[in-house]
């Protein structure tokens, strides 16, 4: 069974939009996303990014996702695939069977669900629904660094 993102259910008519929003409201908004969980990602946000500026569009997309999550003040674990081959391999394993374009960062996971890349993330923000996705997650603390970042710093 292939999971569709909730917004892909929207059609051009008002009735279809109303029905899809009603469906989402009855279940968890997060249920509209594919179950795909990075290691230890069940109760947090995990993003796979790159800090290399070699491909400008990818680098800027990663910055956009970081800015959105920072704006919501939520804790997230960032895994930089350009600095740690293990993170890259982890992402490739998670995304096996998907199109190659879905392996390009950023890739966003929330509470063990695959949200998508920058386009999906920004669309959810524009629709005013990201807050609902992030409900119940830890808020970030000034100066706090996730374990993935600490590992990269130590190497």
Structure confidence by residue, pLDDT tens digits, 98-123 = 998 889 999 999 999 999 999 999 99
- State the CB neighbour count (10 A cutoff) for residue 47: 24
Q: What local confidence, expressed as pLDDT, does residue 140 receive?
A: 82
> For the residues 40-68, what does the mean pLDDT come to?
94
What is the distance between the alpha carbons of residues 29 and 20, in angstroms, rounded to a whole number?
11
One-letter-per-residue 3-state SS of the chain: CCCCCHHHHCCCCHHHHHHHHHHHHHCCHHHHCEECCCCCCCCCEEEEECCCCCCHHHHHHHHHHHHHHHHHCECEEEEECCCCHHHHHHHHHHCCCCCHHHHCCCEEEECCEEEECHHHHHHHHHCCCHHHHCCCCCECCCCCCCHHHHHHHHC
Q: Which range (43-57, 75-89, 132-146) has the least confidence?
A: 132-146
Name which of 69-73, 121-125, 150-154 the model is least confident about.
150-154
Is the pLDDT higher at 39 or at 2? 39
- Predicted model pTM: 0.75
CA distance 146 to 76: 7
The residue whose two tokens read 């008519």 is 13
Beta carbons of 65 and 120 less than 8 angstroms apart: no
pLDDT band for position 29 (cuts 50, 70, 90) = confident
Whether the Cβ atoms of residue 75 and residue 137 lie closer than 8 Å to each other: yes
Q: Is the pLDDT of residue 147 over 70?
A: no
Instruction: Please state, as a whole number, how many other Cβ atoms lie within 10 Å of the Cβ of residue 148.
Output: 24
Length of the chain: 155
What's the whole-number mean pLDDT along residues 21-34? 64
Secondary-structure class of domain 34-154 per CATH: alpha beta
């Amino acid at each position: 069974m292939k999971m569709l993102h909730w917004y892909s259910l929207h059609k051009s008519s008002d009735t279809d939009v109303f029905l899809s929003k009603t469906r989402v409201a009855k279940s968890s908004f997060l249920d509209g996303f594919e179950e795909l969980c990075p290691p230890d990602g069940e109760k947090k946000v995990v993003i796979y990014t790159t800090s290399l500026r070699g491909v400008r569009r990818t680098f800027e997309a990663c910055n956009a996702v970081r800015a959105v999550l920072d704006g919501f003040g939520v804790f997230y674990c960032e895994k930089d695939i350009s600095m740690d081959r293990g993170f890259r391999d982890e992402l490739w394993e998670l995304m096996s069977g998907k199109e190659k374009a879905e392996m390009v960062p950023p890739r966003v996971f929330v509470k063990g669900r695959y949200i998508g890349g920058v386009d999906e993330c920004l669309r959810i923000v524009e629709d005013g629904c990201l807050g609902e996705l992030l409900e119940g997650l830890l808020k970030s603390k000034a100066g706090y660094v996730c374990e993935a970042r600490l590992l990269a710093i130590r190497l």
